[in-house]
Structure 1
Amino acid sequence: MELKLSIIIPVYNGEKHIEECIESLTKQTLSDCEFIFVNDGSNDKSVELIQKHLIEDPRIILINQKNSGVSVARNTGIESAKGEYIGFIDSDDFVTNDMFEVLYKEAVKKNADVVVSDYYLGRDGKYVKKKTVFEYGFLYDNESINKKIIPSLITNEDIVLPAVWNKIYRRKFLQDNNFFFLKKFSLEEDILFNIQVISHAKTLFFIDYCGYFYRETVGSASRKIAENSFFDRIIENYNIDIKSLTNITIPYEEVKKFQAVKLVNLSLYYLFKGAIDDQITNKERNLLYKRIILNNDVVFSSKKYKQELLKNKGLLEIVMMFIIRNKLITTAHILGFLLNKIYTPKLSEIFRSLNQKVNVFIK
């Protein structure tokens, strides 16, 4: 008899939170499933902790591989999976006891290739519910998926779409189409996987349910932009030929427009974050401003798709877009200084709004 669900958990040095993850899985009310832990060359106590639970629960499977990255680890899990549906969870996250039973029952009931749920985002020990903008309970067919959902996925305008861990996928559908994670992309592997999978799905369903707890890693994203090649990777992803990689039916120019909108929204987000982030120095802030405002792809996108980008933008976002289009570094410093001094919960709401539009998961 075929298992109902295979849950794939890539693991790399996850000892800090992995026991909470394991315990949330072993308590699942859906018993007819398997938990495939793929150890990606961990050198901490992760494997030891998994093995302890493996003895107690035969549903736990441990696969060891040399360090090859999360995409390869997930692909290893997909190749080993035996369940009717496949789900994912990160080793530092956890789920409610009925998470996968709820998703599985809806998948079977609707005969859906993909089921999407909401999730909880954890920051500073507090979890906030993140909800889709799409209609619950409606079974999207392939035409409506490519017309409505894929554009939102590429631009990141729906916060629940990019990740893989708040979804389950029909395994036969993945196998028949030879869908795997693309190995050479380290920043947006989830999004690229979902673009190719969801764009080919015959049916997709959004469920009004929230059972996944995503733990955001503590650290300064602004410093990542200023100090290392993180923004270079964002630009690299902007230049990815999504259409040829994923074989989607949307015209090339439309895809590039969606990518440009996403790039500028990312830039606005990090300009704002850099202005209010007290964890970075003025030198790092200056580097951040220069990396973004003087980048040719960002400036080009902000000019070419100006009208598209101005939709639903507030005054602060419009001013920041003007700064980008005209490469006004000094003006950016003045605005950033003012924002840092007058930062309030009201501005925090603007920040959250920008965050929802970019939705980059960094762990």
Structure 2
Amino acid sequence: MTKISIIVPIYNVEKYLRRCIESIQKQTLKDIQIILVNDGSKDNSLAICKEYGAVDERIVVIDQPNGGVSSARNAGLEVAKGEYIGFIDPDDWIEANMYESLYKQAKNIDADVCMCDYIIEKNGKSVPIKMNINKDNLEGEEIIKKIIANMIGSSNLNSGSQTIMGSVWRIIAKRDLLEKNQLKFKVGIPLMEDLLFCIEILLKSKKVGVNRGAYYHYLQHGHSAVASYRKNMLELQLKVYYFIQEILSKENIYPIVKERMDVRYVSMYLTAIANEARKENKKNIIDKVAYIKELCKDPLLKNILKEINTNGYTFRKKLILKAIKNEFSWFLYFYYSALLRLLKKQ
């Protein structure tokens, strides 16, 4: 059996695609299947996929109409034949020993999932991001408390509080586990679809390997979904939030992670307020401030803010939360407008 099937969803990435494919081809683990899913690209991405597929028999090329990243990954899952499944985004690249290291660790402990650290690549700088987990092997409730909880949200609302990024490109997962539980990516969610998938996989896993290697190079674009104005930002985030809630409730573990879900809910509204204050938002100031006031009135948000323990929070964060409680919408607008301008200059 092929050891790992690696699925790459591709849409208009001719600029980066060769680097991505070649980093997979150079893996020290040779027994792999490389599944390139062209999701209706309008540039030369498909031609590049076919070019590599013609000279490497490990490569499978799928060409489909544009259906989004979840649809493309699901198409890859349909033809995957590896013992484990891995995922790579087409503008990223990996170290040559990534899959050999993950596979060996997974096999040694018979892990359902094995995950690694990664490196953020932005503006020519490389920043390694490490998981704050002191064990190489997690089982049972440890998986929930040490990984899933930290994927859902941080332990508090302070800026820079540590979380674990719920991205499928940092894991390999047993194909049998996915097939047995009929796990697929949710289509129609353009934001954090892989977080939902990761949570579902981890909840079904009996054993998870934690690998210390930072093998994955994650190219962070300035125009990413959370770094630019989106008209329906809160709607999209709420959709993800309620999907997570549904998944956790189904597995009867919601009470274990309720505090993290509360932090996530407040964080979504902080993001929505900041999003509304963006310069790219073409509404006039009066309408922006009015919408921020509506956000502050959300009943669940108000209930969470009544209960949330702010001990250890920075003065600035306490000030923001107080402003939301008191619906000081003008203050919030000017605060986030200034903050966003400052961040843009950095």
TM-score bracket, shorter-length normalisation: 0.7 to 0.9
Query: 1:147: how far off?
Result: 3.8
Instruction: Give the direction of change, closer, same or farther, for the CA distance of 1:59–1:287 in structure 2 (3 Å limit).
Output: farther
Query: 1:296: how far off?
Result: 5.6
Instruction: Give the direction of change, closer, same or farther, for the CA distance of 1:305–1:24 in structure 2 (3 Å limit).
Output: same
Instruction: Give the direction of change, closer, same or farther, for the CA distance of 1:34–1:25 in structure 2 (3 Å limit).
Output: same
Q: Which shows bigger deviation, 293-302 or 149-158?
A: 293-302
Query: 1:43: how far off?
Result: 1.5
In 1: Cα distance, 2:285 partner to 2:166 partner? 28
Query: 1:205: how far off?
Result: 1.6
Indicate the residue corresponding to 1:242 in structure 2. 245
1:29 paired with 2:28, answer yes
Equivalent AA in structure 1 for residue 242 of structure 2: N
Indicate the residue corresponding to 2:229 in structure 1. 224
Indicate the residue corresponding to 2:207 in structure 1. 203
Please report the TM-score for the alignment, with normalisation by the length of structure 2: 0.86
1:165 paired with 2:164, answer no
Query: 1:188: how far off?
Result: 1.9
Indicate the residue corresponding to 1:183 in structure 2. 187
Per-residue Cα deviation, 1:9-28 (whole angstroms, up to 9, x for no partner): 01111112111101111111
SS at match of 1:49: helix
Equivalent AA in structure 2 for residue 177 of structure 1: N
* Contact 2:296 2:325 survives alignment (8 Å): no
SS at match of 1:294: helix
User: Across the two proteins, how many residue pairs are aligned to each other?
Assistant: 339
| Counterpart pick for 1:215 among 219, 223, 235 | 219
Q: Which shows bigger deviation, 231-240 or 25-34?
A: 231-240
* Contact 1:114 1:169 survives alignment (8 Å): yes
Indicate the residue corresponding to 2:142 in structure 1. 144
Equivalent AA in structure 1 for residue 172 of structure 2: I
In 2: Cα distance, 1:288 partner to 1:94 partner? 40
Instruction: Give the direction of change, closer, same or farther, for the CA distance of 1:265–1:167 in structure 2 (3 Å limit).
Output: same
SS at match of 2:83: strand
Please report the TM-score for the alignment, with normalisation by the length of structure 1: 0.82
Instruction: Give the direction of change, closer, same or farther, for the CA distance of 1:293–1:238 in structure 2 (3 Å limit).
Output: farther
In 2: Cα distance, 1:219 partner to 1:233 partner? 17
Per-residue Cα deviation, 1:298-348 (whole angstroms, up to 9, x for no partner): 56325425454625421111111111222211222443466578x599x98
Instruction: Give the direction of change, closer, same or farther, for the CA distance of 1:45–1:194 in structure 2 (3 Å limit).
Output: same
In 2: Cα distance, 1:102 partner to 1:156 partner? 28
* Contact 2:147 2:164 survives alignment (8 Å): no
SS at match of 1:34: strand
* Contact 1:271 1:288 survives alignment (8 Å): no
Unaligned runs of 5+ in 1: 349-363
In 1: Cα distance, 2:138 partner to 2:45 partner? 40
SS at match of 2:253: coil
Per-residue Cα deviation, 1:195-227 (whole angstroms, up to 9, x for no partner): 1110110001211110101111222746424xx
In 2: Cα distance, 1:338 partner to 1:224 partner? 15
In 1: Cα distance, 2:167 partner to 2:71 partner? 16
Q: Which shows bigger deviation, 204-213 or 292-301?
A: 292-301
Across the aligned residues of Structure 1 and Structure 2, the Cα RMSD in angstroms comes to 3.0
SS at match of 1:3: coil
Instruction: Give the direction of change, closer, same or farther, for the CA distance of 1:287–1:236 in structure 2 (3 Å limit).
Output: farther
Equivalent AA in structure 2 for residue 219 of structure 1: H
Matches within 5 A, 1:178-327: 178-219=182-223, 221=226, 223-225=228-230, 228-240=231-243, 242-244=245-247, 247-251=250-254, 257-268=259-270, 280=280, 291-295=291-295, 300-308=300-308, 310=310, 312-327=312-327
Indicate the residue corresponding to 2:4 in structure 1. 5
1:20 paired with 2:25, answer no
Equivalent AA in structure 2 for residue 224 of structure 1: Y
1:106 paired with 2:99, answer no
In 2: Cα distance, 1:340 partner to 1:175 partner? 44
Query: 1:190: how far off?
Result: 0.8
Q: Which shows bigger deviation, 77-86 or 146-155?
A: 146-155
Unaligned runs of 5+ in 2: 156-161
* Contact 1:122 1:215 survives alignment (8 Å): yes
Equivalent AA in structure 2 for residue 76 of structure 1: A
* Contact 1:196 1:248 survives alignment (8 Å): no
Per-residue Cα deviation, 1:109-166 (whole angstroms, up to 9, x for no partner): 12111111111112222221111122242x1112322344322222266543410001
Equivalent AA in structure 2 for residue 181 of structure 1: F
Equivalent AA in structure 2 for residue 321 of structure 1: L
* Contact 2:7 2:34 survives alignment (8 Å): yes
Matches within 5 A, 1:322-361: 322-336=322-336, 339=339, 343=342
Indicate the residue corresponding to 2:159 in structure 1. none
Instruction: Give the direction of change, closer, same or farther, for the CA distance of 1:281–1:151 in structure 2 (3 Å limit).
Output: closer
Query: 1:234: how far off?
Result: 1.5
SS at match of 2:54: helix
Equivalent AA in structure 1 for residue 24 of structure 2: L
* Contact 1:192 1:246 survives alignment (8 Å): no
Query: 1:167: how far off?
Result: 0.7
